[in-house]
Structure 1
Amino acid sequence: MASGPTLRLQVLGPLRMWRDDQEVDAGPRQQASLFALLLARYGSPVRRADLIDMIWGAEAPTSAVNVVHKYVGALRRLLEPDLPPRGASSYLVRRGDGYMCATGPAVLDLARFQTLTASARTAVGQGMPEVALDRYVEALGLWHGPAGDRLVHSPGAAAVFTGLNDEFLDACTASTETAVACGRPERVLPPLRLASSMAPLHEPVHAALVTALGAAGQQAEALAVFRAVRLALRKDLGVDPGPLLERAHQRVLRQDLTPAGTPSPVVLTTPGTSTVVSPGRDLARDSLVGRSGELAVLRAGLDRAAGGGSGLVLVEGEPGVGKSRLLDAAAAEADDGHRLVARGRCTTGEGAPSMWPWMQVIRQVLDDVDGQERAIWLETGLGAILEPQDEVPARPVLSTGTGQFRLFETVVALVAHVSACRPVVIAVDDLQWADNASLQLFGHLSSRLPPGVLLLGAVRDRAPVPCADLARILAAVSRSPGHHRLRIGPLGVHDVAELVRLETGQVPDPDAARALHLRTDGNPFFVQELARLAAGAGPLTQEAVARAGIPATVRDVVRDRMAGLDGDATRLLEIAALIGRDVNLNLLAEAAGLDAATCLARLDLVQALGLATTLPDDPYSVHFAHDLVRQSVSDATPARRAARLHLRIADALERTHLQGSPLRSAWPIISGRPDLSPIRRVPPPRWCVLAAGPPPSRRSTWRSSSCGWRRRSAGLPVSRRRSSGRCPS
């Protein structure tokens, strides 16, 4: 990408943009909101459906898709006035069924902020606090108010910008420790004052401000800040300051704020790696990289339940994207002694009893009730769930009728009884594996949530595709008051680098981070596994990432999913994997010897298992969800069968060329990209010749010679007889 040196973009505060030092208006309100969202998610594709939801919510017009397309076109012209019609933009690029802002620290303030804060954390770990403080101060100075300020945000968009604000607040608190240790607390006072105005009830920020003011010799102002935030906490939330704020207050009173009084970082070591942890750091939350916006939504739900309200948050996303980790982080934050946290997990397989996740949840809720009351609750019908014989419920759980309704109402009454004493958080993971009775109870409770209860659920959006029962419950849940659907997407390049640092102890250079992101599409599970494999051989470089094979864990997951395919679908998937990441449907059907309808029918199961899919804007292509998945399928194909399939693909490519779309069909093979071109033994220039075809006058000669070359490239024997001009099948 050609970075425009004269372009500057600001989203840390009001949205602003400059070209040649002249400020440019971002356009109408909704267009500006779309631009701010793309900037906030720079480096990561944002689906068109997500953009529509975040801009309009439930009031999206029927023309929303066209409006988004118009806004993107207008923004491209603002960013690059010299861009020719239908020219490829350097900044707003199309990715699948969405768009991505492709920019970096030289242009976008958010990118520079995240780069500087990552560098500051690295400097702290290397024992260079002065360097770290310089980086922190420069990073924090980029903020001019809440991210995306002065724009009207829907709940979905608000979560994105709240996540960015949380990054600022976290950096402020981290920089305070470093500034006090260096004896320069005054350097972080301006950003701390801004942070305290943005988050008037955020105790860690106010504790940092009190500490920095006291260390800077401004004890009177420090005590005034403490009194003001204590009053606000009591008035707005009905609580007293927490231990962190009280500790900062006591340090000011004792004047114990010298650099020597600052605790030293703790170094956690594992073989070959070390991770520096600041005092009080929450390891579980820190390892949840790139999810600050999602955590902000869950925190808002926790606060709502603590204040006597209720809420429902449903987390969805592809396998490995971090849904369970997000629920773990929310549960860890809620488990503060004041709330009851009850968790249940659905499981796949034949052995799980009916209502298994609710057996786990109800047991934990009943543990909060004294013995005599517990016995009474068990007699109301809950014993059918909680007193199994030989791991099977003592009585069958009714799936229909008034009996089921009475049982579900009993569960609601139990939860209401406990939540009247303290807030309750119920989290049910892996809803895609839930039995029908468990789904029905989840839907019933979501429609009858008592005050003081936050209900959390996590579900895959693919592999498998939601069944009819699950789809029906999800539709009913979406109509519940206070419902929030939280879709987790892939990580951006910056977050991939941070996750790798936490996972391996190595800081990947930008090229290595981009290579990891390219091979994994930002899926956290794939990133962690591939990073471990690549880092095991030495320094984590771009070359190491390229040399790394398929992690065994990823291969096992793919093979497990492939076990659900029949022989015909498996062979079709193998052919697609050998062609490339994006496969033309006509080429695939031709290589498999199928008509288009049969090919599509066999792909249905492949799509249901999340192995490959078609894109909404290109229904004539098959797209592998991740290149690691494609490579796993390709590597699992026996060598002899792969050789024969290579030849069939070559024949099909030639036939589809003669029917008229050579470059589109051949592109995955002739692109020359080793990570996208599995037919590595075939030189890309020869495929260009094959795709383009010979001059008519030399067609027969070309056909016979290319046939021999194709057989050699596929590792098959070549006859020495003079060719008749026919290419054997």
Structure 2
Amino acid sequence: MSAEPEGMDLRLLGPVRAWRDGTELPLGSARRLAVFSVLALHANRAVSREQLVTALWGENPPASATGNVYTYVSALRRVLEPSRDRWAAGQVLTSGGGTYRLSVREQDVDVFRFEALRGEAKQHRATGDRQAELTVLAAALQMWHGEPLAGVPGPFAEAQRLRLSELRLATAERHATLLIETGRLDEAIAVLRALVATYPLQENLQAMLATALQAAGRPAEAQRHAAPSPAPARTAAATAGRGPWPVPSDRASLIGRDAEIRRLRRAVAEVADGTGGSLRIEGTPGMGKSALLTVALRGATPAGCRAGWAVGDELSQRMPLGLLLECFESAMPGDTNPDLVKLLFAVAAEAVDGPSGDIVARAAELVRRAAEQAPLILVADDLQWADPLTLGVWSALHADTRELPLLLIAASRPGGSAVARPTESAAGQPADSEIDRTGGSETDRSGTGDLNAVPVDEVVTLAPLSPAAATQLIRAVAPEPLDPRTFRDMLTDAGGNPSYLRHLAAGGFESMTLSAAVGTQLASFSEEARQLLRAIAFLGAGSDTDPGCTLTELALVTDRSRDDLIRALTPAVTAGVLTAAGEWVAFWHRVVARVLHDGTPTSLRVMLHRSFASRLADTAAPPERVVAQLLAGPVPLDSAIARWLTVHIEQLAGRAPHLAVNVLQRARAQYTVAPAERLELTAWLARLLLAQGRNGAAEAGWVAARTPDPELEGEMRWVAAVSHERRAEYEAAADIARSVLREHRVPPRWIDRFRHLLTRVRPYLAGNPTVPHLSRSAIIGDGVSVIR
């Protein structure tokens, strides 16, 4: 096996560069850089020619791709080993069996050094050494010299750019958090200002900057960063060009959508044969509506057909017939029939001056004339953003699709349609939810038109992906194989949503793009609605199964009436962000709740959980709901919380024993709790551990050594002895029993129990297990039954 060369320095965290023995190597063209990057990021591992071709050109490589790869590798060999004889075997870049291998030490590649430092920082974080963690993170960030793999072409480089940029942002955020927590506020403010300038839509960065400024005594500046309201972002389809079809997005988005693709392509084929129709693709945010339209329709327009595409946004509502104009103009290029386009613009101009009863009829007639000339396909993505006149024309044209070669395809969030469907809410929950009964039309900032009034032949609903399809998507996107638990958590948290699955698989919960995706999907809601969504995320943060809350709880912590809550949350239910059934509201996808919760700065997170716990406790909420807030923060357990726990611990133990153990373990570990309350809570912890078959000996012994109450001392010594007995630690159990019987300080009922315990363990003791100074009859007693 060839030795790894010394003196190599490969840098990918910025422009791709390489040095050997202090001399920079001329790596050459962009494609050669792409090959070099793939090999460097797979250092000491075999990479096949097919992998390199896919990395450079994706799914549609040129015919010369394989030959080009051979040329690039040969050129790189000469650069990496200039003194190597042409016919001698290489040592740095080797080949064999159709594969290539770059043999370098991992510490010679800056990406691996960066990732190693991140791992070291996590170890310091686990041990609580914040200063060491801060030092390591600073060293990791100093390794960056710009955009990773800058200028390197190909899908592999693009994916790695995204992954590494996300890691850099996550590292920078943690670095800034530690600067705040260690009191280095000026440094934190400078770092965060630079991050906010680079990532202006990251609400968590704005909030962190506000926290640092407030702590530094600059409240006026902090206020400017306290409540960012990012504007809705247009989809990739909207910015990809005029078309007729936008550039398709990641093919992984369409895993599990074969039937829907076939349905759309069949409709396109039918319109070419003279049969029109109207379809609507409905799905909650992230279900892949735009990607479905793009992949299914791009390149599928038959000869002789015209196709137009438009994407709705907030501006579409302000321009009469705006969405229809964009769609119609893209279907009618200048050399086709410019007169029809000019006439439609004239109709729209009249509508600007004021409403007119014949605007819809005249606009629809122009579209009919175009369809009479040649088969016409109109595609409107995000139809919920359309202005009322566009929706009116779309409705009027529905009847014409039965007579003309006119195909209307729209995509929208769930909002109802004129086609007969089962009685259920937009979020798929039973229709008896209070929120669902309020109407369900899309209002707020997510659209003003009434989609219920637009008739359609067929609604194609994009349901969550099946577990099999979701698994396939994760495996297609994840850069490395995932362990079973991570895989399972991704499936649960994403809830079958392709967008969330893709972001989780690519970067996990530290992913910058995951946070951005959630932020974009929530940006269409008002600031009021977003704050309520955040409150729901916090109220459900302590639950492993259903991250939600009741309307009563939400009203308590937000000081809002139920009517106000129902009005503000209806758009989120209609859009499929929330699910509502009766009194309960929860997130349709757990990942949204986690992003909203975990993206909140730690100090603010603790404060909110403490406030919510206090409000719930004051109104006699179930104790498990209060404790869930204490554990989700983590909230320091002060004396007020400890007093509440001592009153409610018995009820909590009966309703949620495992949750009770968690909060009691927290209480025992915090010395801010008063001694008497700490003693009582620790006694409850020992009881519950024993009841759950766990070892409570240490906790029970701690209480027994400190309590002045003989009854409690007897109980705790009993818990400790039985804990030892269950773990087959018979000598330890016998020692406790002998001590109790010798001292004879606890009440008689405990004396009897210890006699029986000693009898039980006697056969397992080494040597002579009798107790000094006690007769056998004294040990056995009067035969009282054993209480385990």
Taking structure 1 as the reference length, the TM-score comes to 0.46
Structure whose alpha-carbon radius of gyration is higher:
2
TM-score (norm 2): 0.43
